[in-house]
A and B are shown apart, each in its own frame.
Chain A
Amino acid sequence: MTSYCRPAILSPKVQQGESKQSFPHCIKQPCSFPKIPQGRLLKSQRKITMSSKRHSIVPPVSQSGPKPPVQFSSSITISDSALLTGTNLIAISSESVIHPRAKLDSLAGRINIGRRCVVHERSVVGAVGTSGRITEAAVTLGDYVTVEVGASIEAGDTVIGDGTTVGVGAKVGAGAVIGKHCTLTPHTEIAAGEVVPDFTVVYSNGLRRPDRRGIAELKNKGQIRQIDVLRRMIPSNPAKFD
């Protein structure tokens, strides 16, 4: 997806049960790895077994609620199964891509999506959070922003800076301001009103570190290439939302 540097060596992923490699946990925080069997464990030591059942987190796709006014650049790609709802303006700038089933909700204010952004499936931009505040600009995405699958960005003057990636299933609270070229790793949660400086990687339950790769431009280049592909893959139907 966003691999700008092609890995020269692809390390084979271990799949066998016994040699299963750990998920990139953080070693700065206490984490409970399954240890060598130590006999019976107290409740506090027992591993929580996750239900193996797969739940779909997809909200039923139905055009409910009011149809929002839109302001689309002519070069955008938007799937006709994207879900646009709300009462305020939704503006999408040039070459941005809205995947099927992505939800843009302008109920709590205007949604601005910058140039060459990619909003993936099942993500929600402008989710009405607990505050229910209505503001002038609910969510503003800068240029080259990627909102990955299932991520949610709450409404309420929330700003995502240029070149930032909001990881799979991440949550950005209302009024948070994410700087430029940040990476929110999967399932990161940013509290409402938090300010994340430029070039920050938020990982492992909220730890932060600066991104010193200095490859913002390369990343943008990768985004352009990706958009190139997506335009061919996603049938665009902006007329549906007029």
Chain B
Amino acid sequence: MAAFVPYTYFQCPCSDSSTLAQSSGSNSPSSAHPDPDDGGIDDDSDRAFDPRAPRSNYSLYPLEYLLYCEDCHQIRCPRCVAEEIVTYYCPNCLFEVPSSNLKSEGNRCTRSCFQCPICIGPLAVTSIETKPDPNLLAAPDSASHSGPYALTCSYCNWTSTEVGIKFEKPNSIHAQLAKLRNGGTSRLTAKERKERRKDPAYTSQRAAAGSERESSDWQEDLDLETQFANLKLFYQSQLADPNSADHGLSSLGDLGFSSPSSLSRIMSIYTGGSLHDKKAKSRVGAMREALESDEGLQLADLDESAAISRLRQEGYDGTASTEQLLEQPPNLGEEHLHGRARFTAELRPIPYLLRTKRSKRCPVCRHIISKPEAKMQTTRFRIRLVAGSYIPSIAIRPLSLSGAGGSFSSSSTTTVPGAPLEPLKPAHFLLTFKNPIFETVKVTLGTPARTPGRFASKVTVLCPVFEIGANTDVWDEALKDSSGSDRDGRRRRGKGDEGGGGGSGGGGLTNQIEVGKIWERGRNWVSIVVEVMPASLHLREDEGDLPLREEEDVLEIPMFVRVEWEADVGGDEVGSAAHGRDSKEAREKRELAYWCVLGLGKIRRS
């Protein structure tokens, strides 16, 4: 079993409908949250966050996944931001595709980028060398690579010659492939099809084929695209046909609809024709269906004996998996639906799906909170407001109290990181809050005394209110330290900063767990201790207890974090510029509050 790694997840306010409704009503940060004066945690307990609720999985994110809107002063998650596409590009050749091309040519790379239909590895264009000629052996390098080309996968050794596809040129494979059907026969364009029909040899062959089957249902095999084009053409001609348009409901044409015939047809569909006399009904039915393959009719070929015999021959391994079929691009000169590829031997190369670069907008104020550089070759961002640079990160470390030093000496355990927690034995964890902003922040923590869920563990945050220093220049701190008396001076305990010099002599070893005291403090970070009493996972199955669910043995504590700080009144905000100039020194109280979940460890199963 892999060792457990403690984790912290933050909740995005978008999952809480009440918060979102409030914050959308006003952009003021304080109104987006429960009133700070309401006494905080205790009053919140009725809506305490349950990390095990099924919905919670969708609102909890690691800090790295979260963004932050500077205008709303609120966390934004991938679920609630609005995304806009900046660029489309091919992941293989890295060419940007203009969105106009996208509309006409679809969302796949139209150059020569293909994936293997078997294993999705990238395909390379290779020349198919002719069989080695014994005369050429002397000078093997003189063989020119002019021959036909094929796509080959260097991983699974698939090659497009397996489906009978060869290319004449090594470039613009996409265009060449569109004209090729499996087996190498070229796909006819509509024009070529028409010309072929004029060919006397073809018509006689067609007649022969028709008589062979002793019926008139001989049809051309159309691929999907051609069939669709034929059908579309046919229906358009039907709609335009004046004979079918002129009937009982023609008076509706005066209503100003552009295509009265289509409207009346729709009307008759909904009314079922019962409103009209028989005559009108028969006239509505004047629009006929397609009857020939020229009109887009394709009879289903229900004879599957060929497929069955092939299945017998090739077995299960010869059939394409669902994933492989899903990867297959549609409409690429494919055969009719009924003859759709079902065997791996029929799969065609997959043109690469284009990828996108996206910018992200705040769902409430519509400001852009993340915008990548449009150019494909760079991975930089123009705007990227990540939550990690606004809200304190929380790191979790098990705290082992070595021997008699701890005031809770009875509870001292040798804590190995990732080791399971003993049920009903107090354990301590060090939470380190690191402040990313350039202001001193005041943090207030709130946890329910017992974790929600079937196995309620007791939780005590020993120091729920503390301040973290500003994220000032690292060198400021270093210089301050070296000029000071003690390098360890920054390792100050407790709230009183003056006590640092004396306390540092013993270092961290003699640190004692005291209620209301900070464990350790640094330039922009503070460590506090949380004590947990893990619940016993004892189940009474005879009393109908359900067995443990997945990850139910993980001790997770919900924690409400409120961060308060004072910031300069936003001078960069539009509209407040003039106002900001007057009161440049004015400070504004800011506040941010959110739930997060701390995964501390697994409780040992009894």
Contacts and interface: CB of A to CB of B under 8 A. Distances in A.
A22 B120 contact: yes
Interface string A1-40: 0010111111110101111011011111000000011111
Bin chain A's interface residue count.
35 or more
B399 interface: no
Interface in B124-178: 124-129, 131-132, 137, 140, 145, 149, 152-159, 161-162, 170-171
B78 interface: yes
A28 B113 CA distance: 21
B119 interface: yes
Interface in A204-230: 204, 208-209, 211-213, 215, 217-218, 221, 225
A64 interface: no
A62 interface: no
B550 A221 contact: no
A37 to B, nearest CB: 5
A79 B131 CA distance: 35
Contacts of A9: 112, 124-125, 170-171
A8 B144 CA distance: 11
B321 interface: yes
Nearest to A26: B119
B100 to A, nearest CB: 22
Bin chain B's interface residue count.
35 or more
Given A6-B145, A16-B379, A22-B120, A39 B129 contact: no
Interface string A183-218: 101000000000000000101100011011101011
B140 A28 contact: no
Contacts of A8: 125-127, 145, 149, 170
Contacts, number: 137
B156 A27 contact: no
Contact of B157 (A10, A18, A44, A213): A213
Given A37-B61, A183-B157, A221-B140, A6 B127 contact: yes
Given A25-B119, A39-B58, A42-B57, A5 B323 contact: no
B79 interface: yes
Contacts of A26: 118-120
A221 B139 CA distance: 11
Contacts of B113: 11
Q: Secondary structure of the B side of the interface?
A: loop
B298 interface: no
Interface stretch (B85-93, B226-234, B253-261): B85-93
A240 interface: no
B129 A25 contact: no
B355 interface: yes
A27 B132 CA distance: 35
B202 interface: no
Nearest to B113: A11
A17 B379 contact: yes
Contacts of A212: 159, 161-162
- Going nearest first, the 8 A-B pairs with the smallest beta carbon separation are A24-B121, A5-B126, A8-B170, A40-B60, A27-B323, A24-B155, A7-B124, A28-B321
Given A19-B89, A27-B323, A213-B157, 10 more contacts: A11-B124, A14-B94, A24-B120, A24-B155, A27-B324, A203-B155, A204-B156, A209-B156, A218-B132, A225-B140
Interface of B: 9, 56-62, 65, 77-79, 89, 91-94, 112-113, 116, 118-122, 124-129, 131-132, 137, 140, 145, 149, 152-159, 161-162, 170-171, 317, 321, 323-324, 327, 344, 355, 357, 372, 376-377, 379, 550-551, 597
Interface of A: 3, 5-12, 14, 16-19, 21-22, 24-28, 36-44, 183, 185, 201, 203-204, 208-209, 211-213, 215, 217-218, 221, 225
